[in-house]
Amino acid sequence: MDRLLEHLLDEPGGSYYICGGPLRRLPRVFPSRETVRSLDALEALSGYRLAGGKLGFAAEWLRANRGEDGLWDLGAAAQDRIHLPRSDSWRRAADRKADCTEWIGGILAALEGGGGGEPPLKNKARKMQQRVL
């Protein structure tokens, strides 16, 4: 698994189909579609045992891009209809920030926890079930 993570992080084609290049090269502009793709890749890797040690740089990047209000905001252009929006509408900035913060906070918690827990997709499915109920 160590070699696979290194490949995804450093090789130009390692995570090309998810985020367009090596995952270690994170977007400079945080509120962007490029960031959504990087977050998707980080979420997929965050459930693995080695993730905490290898993805510490990403956890720092996430903490550095939290707003002064303690929330994350990827901007209106971040709607990919897969991860975001989670709420019914983003007409209010507060709803958008709440959605972004829920998703990014979960990824950060998984990265800081070192992985090894439940795979991220199971967590996502459980959250979707709770919303429906």
Query: What is the pLDDT, as a whole number, of residue 10?
Result: 75
Angle at 17 between CA 96 and CA 25, to 5 degrees: 70
What is the rounded average pLDDT of the residues 62-68?
A: 96
- The tens digit of pLDDT for each residue in 34-59 reads 999 899 889 988 888 777 788 899 99
pLDDT-derived band at 102 (thresholds 50, 70, 90) equals very high
**Residue whose entry in the numeric block shows the structure tokens 């007409």:** 91
**Secondary structure class of 15 (helix, strand, coil):** coil
- Cα-based distances in Å from 48 to 119, 124, 132, 133: 8, 16, 28, 29
Using CA atoms, how far apart are residues 40 and 125, in angstroms rounded to an integer? 15
Report domain extents, the chain.
30-132
The reported pTM is 0.74
